[in-house]
Amino acid sequence: MGSFKSISAVVRTSPERFSGTFGKPWILVNQGGIDRLQCSLLGPGAVGSFHRGQTLYCYRNFRPEERVEILDDLVGPEDLYIRLGTTSSDMWRPELILVWGWSREKGTVPLALDLGTQLKLSADKKEGVVSTQVRRVQPGDREMAIRELLLVAVTYNAPYSGTDDPIWLRVTVGGDLAANHVITDTPQTDLEINSSNVYRIPVERPFTRAELEAEESEVRLGIQGSDMWVPKKIFLFGLDAAEEPPSRVVSLVRVYDPGPLSISPTEGVSALSLPLDAP
């Protein structure tokens, strides 16, 4: 048994009118009936915004002096719950919420995932509720059948790091194509400087993490043009359901600073082979 060294969250705001907010939404993690963490999502390590159609990625690293201890073994529905809320009367409508923790003992541990929510959060009771519990999920294992993927990309805050070109994700399992998807324009600020994005990636045939560890299996990320893209962080998660709300989620990729992507050989490489996240 260990404790989480960090908690990360990704929140995408609905593209509908009046969905964004200038407020400061917060996240709360309660374990064993005790509020272990409550903090603004706009703290250090946050990239993105709560504006309409945009995505925010938040990373909270626990320093030893903070004495925050969320145990990585006690993550069941009866042990831990997560709330998302706001202190502002400026209504906010998040549509996708993903939360995960990281510990030295367990690595990346998915904790909560809500897809396609219809939430209205506001301190004004006439507009919505001040907070809501985020739907919990269980960490998947190596044998879990993956039926959909969730890609999280954070772009560097540096000149010429963003791109207007499409990127693609391809998963090969035992030499067979399991996923092959091109990401084009979405309501988000796609892959621009100092932005974060989250994308749902369809799967052509179910596969497992164990199959990805075998020979002739690979996760590749590439770009279709010469407009260089410099990602800062890449995360890939596998979901156990595509049509129904997933109940289990497994971490597949956790990569920092993978390098620039471009079909121009003077600017980067056209595709990268992404290493699997340590189990």
Q: What is the mean pLDDT of each run of 10 residues along the chain (279 residues)?
A: 91 95 95 93 92 96 83 90 95 97 95 92 94 95 97 96 97 96 94 97 96 95 96 98 92 97 96 92
146-273 classified as CATH 3.90.230.10 = no
Domain boundaries, the chain: 6-136, 146-273
Which pLDDT score, from 0 to 100, does residue 1 have?
66
Instruction: Answer whether 6-136 and 146-273 agree in fold.
Output: yes
Other beta carbons within 10 angstroms of residue 17's beta carbon come to: 8
Residue of 150, 69, 70, 79 lying closest to 113 (CA atoms): 150
CB-CB contact of 57 with 64 (8 Å):
no
Give the span between the Cα atoms of 167 and 19, in whole angstroms. Answer: 27
Report which of 66, 60, 71 is spatially closest to residue 3, judged by C-alpha positions: 71
Whether domain 6-136 has CATH 2.40.37.10: the reply is no
